[in-house]
Amino acid sequence: MRRAEHDLIGDREVETDVYWGIHTLRALENFPLTGLPLSSHPELVVALAAVKEAAALAHSDLATLPEEKVGAITRACREIRKGRLHDQFVVDVFQGGAGTSANMNANEVIANRALELMGHERGSYAVLHPNDDVNRSQSTNDVYPTAAKLALYAATGRLLDAMTVLRNAFAERGGVFAKTVKLGRTQLQDAVPMTLGQEFDAFALTVRDDAELIGLAAEVLLEVNLGGTAIGTGLNADPGFAHLAVTHLAAVSSVPVRPARDLVESTQGVGAFIRLSGALKQFALRLTKICNDLRLLASGPRAGLGEIRLPELQAGSSIMPGKVNPVIPEAVTQVCFDVVGADAAVCAAAQAGQLQLNAFEPLIVHHLLKSANRMRAACQLLAERCVEGIEADEERLRALVESSSGLATALNPVIGYQQATALARMCQATGIPVRELAAGSGLVSDEELSVLLDPWRLVHPA
């Protein structure tokens, strides 16, 4: 069975069992690009419903929509926000029109569900219309970015929770390894001693600092342009709508959104998206470095550094018996690379906007939601399947410290750089430990050596 619908292009028939209408149908035909429907971003679907509910409630306050319509629209929106009808949000995440198809998809689904709730058949738009009623006082150009910011705020909130889990996992290992002395390295060459705990505490601080940066970027998302309609001038919005709609949106979404300082700038500007993308990229780059460090520290177990042991999760080779790979850091690194690439796409789309609108917000929103959600999963995975189970090879760590020529650095204040260099070079050439060479040289007394080369003093010299 089909129902007939009409738009400016002409007439089309739509399957009666779907909630979307002719505008969504045309979008399905026009944008078969990624194969990813709008519903692949449930946060965005929920946010669109929240915006439409807030708009309806604003019209209730203004008495610009009949209460029967307001009630049906809000009920439909609340169902969607609870997870119903998400399968009806079918337009591709990539689309022309700056998100118009996404907004139309939402308008049609909400309108047709509202019609059902009022006792009418889907498509009875003379009773309740997707544009005239559900989209009243709105435009795609204020609805879509507002919903996008709500969705991204939710996604970044979950990411920040996962980053806390990862930070705590590193900090917990830092505590466990607080007295485990090891050799530090610079340029992949032996440096001076430190503790494994210091190394893991540094990882924890990196995650904490990047979480603060992402949190600051998320705060900027709270400024929305709802009520600005097409270009920020508020054309066709009922008087008082903008303030009421944003107030209701804060209550409906439990997110402290606020009106944009300048609706025209907010409609065309994508600064908040750029800022978030940059923060996500920074975290991705720094998490990649941490994952690389974990892989290096666990490399071997015989021909590499072999200082730590990562949890063994699966066989590492289809041909080499007994081989186990650092699969979790490898997988997380791939997510990080994906986020770095997404930032490049976001930046390209951001600079491509013209005049009063950026037509490429669908790409920006898709990549940012994908990046935030994948980084959340990556943090959770790295913490739970890797970091929490890391063990130290205490004997190897101690042996590497005792045999390192880097210990000669601690003798600089007593014998000078030149003499210390000679001891270091001799250690490298003969394999004889610096302590033994220094004791035999007569340059340092045994008592001084006991103090200068005490492992705890080496890592806590102050």
Catalytic residues: 317
CA angle 63, 64, 66 (to 5 degrees): 75
DSSP string for 372-396: HHHHHHHHHHHHHHTGGG-EE-HHH
The answer to whether 220 and 300 have CB atoms below 8 angstroms apart is no
The answer to whether 455 and 449 have CB atoms below 8 angstroms apart is no
Structure tokens at 338: 């994906």
DSSP string for 318-333: SSSTT----HHHHHHH
**DSSP H or E segment with residue 3:** strand 2-6
The answer to whether 27 and 95 have CB atoms below 8 angstroms apart is yes
The answer to whether 294 and 343 have CB atoms below 8 angstroms apart is no
Residue 420: name the closest of 428, 431, 409, 429 by CA.
409
**DSSP H or E segment with residue 224:** strand 223-224
CA distance 196 to 180: 6
Classify the C-alpha dihedral 350-351-356-362 as positive or negative. Answer: negative
Provide the β-strand partners of residue 92: 37
The answer to whether 51 and 107 have CB atoms below 8 angstroms apart is no
Residue 426: name the closest of 434, 415, 435 by CA.
434
